[in-house]
């Protein structure tokens, strides 16, 4: 993934509502940045155990794999979290990937969805764009809303695509993109037609999300440990041997393999890496078996992981908003979801957007390989001077003012109506009419992004 893009996504960390966590200082401080799965499942509890054992504090900056690797490579973080091994790209060069735990890659949907199990072939075909309706896998007659994390170089996406397609950079037919699995999970919980991937450690015990069985096998810590659940993967901590804090970072990584560290891993439905020797032994045969089952074969990754990533078609608007923002103190409190890319912006203050990945209909089937993306952005209030802390009262006041502005603007415009056609989503309707999803939700008092065929929506005319 290009450094420019990873830095953009790193900035969006604040927008995702994932505030920096600082565990009280004791001695030497280390900074960790990386994917939210590794952050929540491994590092958060591990940092507390580390500190209680007499070590220093860990500053946590959870966002995604790409941002963590970029930070460790550039020296702004000491340790990264990754749900994938090194991709062999230039961005990963010189970094040390240490596997610390085994996790399960789980396909998820809403609990209201009657489908409970899929075959490997069905999962492959959903991402490949061959299966597009839940009735094709025994569910309701409703289109699938396939979600994905914006970059295939992100750990969870890369690992699943490597298993299903033989390369982690494989494009997929995913209608909606999210900056990380936390944002994806939140949307899955709201949408009865949703489909996406996250990890067992991230959603185990979450009653708002249904984990799908694969070939009848449920994802559990025991089925991952035994290898009976086929989609197991490693979680990594990544360090830079050239870092001034390399020795302390290595000590923390080693701590994860101690008795205290392994107890933390088990408490999050993870299998300590040392206990997965059988998984190491069966990994090659497991990958060959999965590829044979879905009719795919392994292939080399492109020279840059991002070469196969969705192409943003409207970066200029994002860049313009970025240049208008405060460069010295990036603050994205008004951003509701990240836009996929822009040419070296310094900030995304005041921007919110919804990203789409659309499979070309003519490219479906055996020749499917083309995925494009469109980003639709709107601009919130751009603050001339950033502040380090915003009070809750001020935030509420801002929202009230913004709501009044929207209401006033809406009242002066003519509105039109639109009847939802079969297979359409709120996102595709917003795209068709050139408006924001948030505007349609507000005009029609929708609680989430679900629309029904035949439903009449008010569309704000621009």
Range of the domain at 259: 3-102+234-280
Q: How far apart are CA 191 and CA 170, in angstroms?
A: 25
Structural domain includes residue 248: yes
The pLDDT score that the predictor gives to residue 371 is 31
Structural domain includes residue 197: no
Structural domain includes residue 73: yes
Query: Do residues 97 and 242 both lie within one domain?
Result: yes
How many Å separate Cα 18 from the centre of its chain?
Answer: 13
Structural domain includes residue 229: no
Going by C-beta distance under 8 Å and a sequence separation of 6 or more, which residues neighbour residue 191? 110, 145, 448, 449, 450
The pLDDT score that the predictor gives to residue 425 is 73
CB atoms within 10 A of CB 68: 29
Structural domain includes residue 460: yes
C-alpha distances in Å from residue 351, one per residue of 21, 154, 234: 24, 23, 35
CATH number at 405 reads: 3.10.350.10
Q: DSSP of 57-106, one letter per residue?
A: -EEEEEE-HHHHHHHHHHTS-SEEEESS---SSGGGTT-EEEEEEEEEEE
Structural domain includes residue 78: yes
Query: Do residues 97 and 239 both lie within one domain?
Result: yes
Query: Do residues 261 and 402 both lie within one domain?
Result: no
CATH number at 62 reads: 3.40.190.10
Nearest to 41 by CA among 222, 266, 230: 266
- Spatial contact of 340 and 150, defined as CB atoms under 8 Å apart: yes
The pLDDT score that the predictor gives to residue 386 is 31
Count the domains in the chain.
Answer: 2
Nearest to 126 by CA among 39, 199, 194, 55: 194
Q: Of 264, 280, 296, which one is at a domain's C-terminal end?
A: 280
The pLDDT score that the predictor gives to residue 233 is 95
Beta-strand (E) ranges in 218-302?
A: 232-239, 271-272
- Spatial contact of 360 and 372, defined as CB atoms under 8 Å apart: yes
The pLDDT score that the predictor gives to residue 423 is 66
Q: Is 33 left (phi over 0), alpha (psi -120 to 50) or beta?
A: beta
Structural domain includes residue 90: yes
The pLDDT score that the predictor gives to residue 334 is 27
Kindly give the confidence (pLDDT) of every residue in the chain, 462 residues in length, as a single tens digit, with 9 standing for 90 and above.
443 444 434 434 433 433 344 433 336 789 999 888 899 899 999 999 999 998 989 999 887 788 888 889 989 999 999 988 887 777 788 899 999 999 999 999 999 999 999 999 999 999 999 999 999 999 999 999 999 987 656 789 889 999 999 988 888 888 788 878 888 999 999 999 999 999 999 999 999 999 999 999 999 999 999 999 999 999 999 999 999 999 999 999 999 999 999 999 999 999 999 999 999 999 999 999 999 999 998 888 765 433 333 333 233 332 232 222 222 222 222 222 222 222 222 222 332 333 333 333 333 333 333 333 332 222 222 222 333 333 333 334 334 444 444 344 444 445 688 998 876 777 678 767 777 777 788 888 887 667 788 899 998 754
Residue 401, SS3 per DSSP: helix
The pLDDT score that the predictor gives to residue 112 is 95
Structural domain includes residue 440: yes
The pLDDT score that the predictor gives to residue 397 is 39
* DSSP 8-state class, residue 217: B
Render the burial of 239-256: b for 16+ CB within 10 Å, e for the rest: bbeebebeebbbebbebb
The pLDDT score that the predictor gives to residue 19 is 39
Q: How far apart are CA 304 and CA 382, in angstroms?
A: 34
């Amino acid at each position: 993934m290009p450094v420019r893009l990873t830095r953009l996504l790193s900035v969006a960390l604040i927008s995702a509502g994932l505030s920096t966590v600082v565990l009280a200082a004791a001695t030497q401080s280390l900074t960790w940045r990386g994917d939210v799965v590794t952050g929540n499942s491994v590092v958060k509890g591990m940092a507390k155990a580390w500190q209680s054992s007499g070590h220093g504090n860990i500053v946590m900056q959870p966002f995604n794999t790409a941002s963590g690797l970029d930070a460790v490579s550039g020296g702004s973080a000491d340790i990264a979290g990754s749900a994938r091994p090194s991709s062999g790209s230039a961005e990963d060069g010189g970094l040390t990937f240490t596997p610390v735990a085994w996790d399960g890659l789980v396909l998820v949907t809403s609990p209201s969805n009657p489908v409970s199990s899929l075959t490997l072939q069905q999962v492959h075909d959903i991402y490949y764009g061959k299966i597009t309706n839940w009735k094709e896998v025994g569910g309701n007659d409703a289109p699938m809303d396939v979600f994905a994390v914006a970059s295939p170089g992100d750990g969870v996406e890369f690992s699943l695509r490597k298993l299903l397609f033989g390369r982690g950079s494989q494009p997929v037919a995913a209608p909606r993109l999210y900056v990380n699995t936390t944002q994806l999970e939140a949307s899955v919980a709201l949408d009865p037609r949703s489909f996406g991937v996250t990890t067992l450690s991230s959603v185990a015990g979450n009653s708002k999300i249904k984990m799908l069985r694969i070939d009848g096998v449920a994802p559990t810590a025991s089925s991952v440990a035994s290898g009976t659940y086929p989609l197991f993967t490693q979680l990594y901590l990544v360090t830079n041997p050239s870092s001034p804090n390399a020795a302390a970072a290595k000590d923390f990584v080693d701590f994860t393999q101690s008795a205290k560290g392994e107890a933390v891993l088990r408490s999050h439905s993870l299998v300590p890496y040392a206990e997965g020797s059988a998984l190491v032994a069966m990994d090659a045969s497991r990958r060959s078996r999965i590829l044979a089952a879905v009719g795919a074969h392994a292939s080399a990754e492109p020279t840059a992981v991002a070469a196969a990533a969705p192409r943003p078609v409207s970066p200029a608007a994002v860049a313009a908003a970025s240049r208008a923002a405060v460069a010295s103190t990036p603050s994205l409190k008004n951003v509701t979801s990240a836009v996929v890319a822009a040419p070296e912006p310094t900030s995304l203050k005041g921007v919110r957007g919804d990203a789409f990945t659309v499979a070309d209909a003519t490219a479906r089937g055996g020749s499917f390989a083309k995925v494009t993306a469109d980003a639709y952005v709107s601009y919130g209030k751009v603050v001339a001077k950033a502040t380090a802390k915003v009070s809750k009262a001020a935030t509420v006041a801002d929202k009230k003012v913004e709501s009044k502005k929207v209401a006033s603007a809406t009242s002066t415009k003519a509105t039109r109506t639109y009847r939802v056609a079969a297979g359409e989503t709120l996102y595709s309707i917003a795209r068709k009419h050139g408006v924001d999803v948030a505007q349609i939700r507000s005009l029609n008092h929708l609680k989430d992004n679900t629309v029904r065929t035949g439903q009449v929506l008010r569309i704000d005319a621009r």
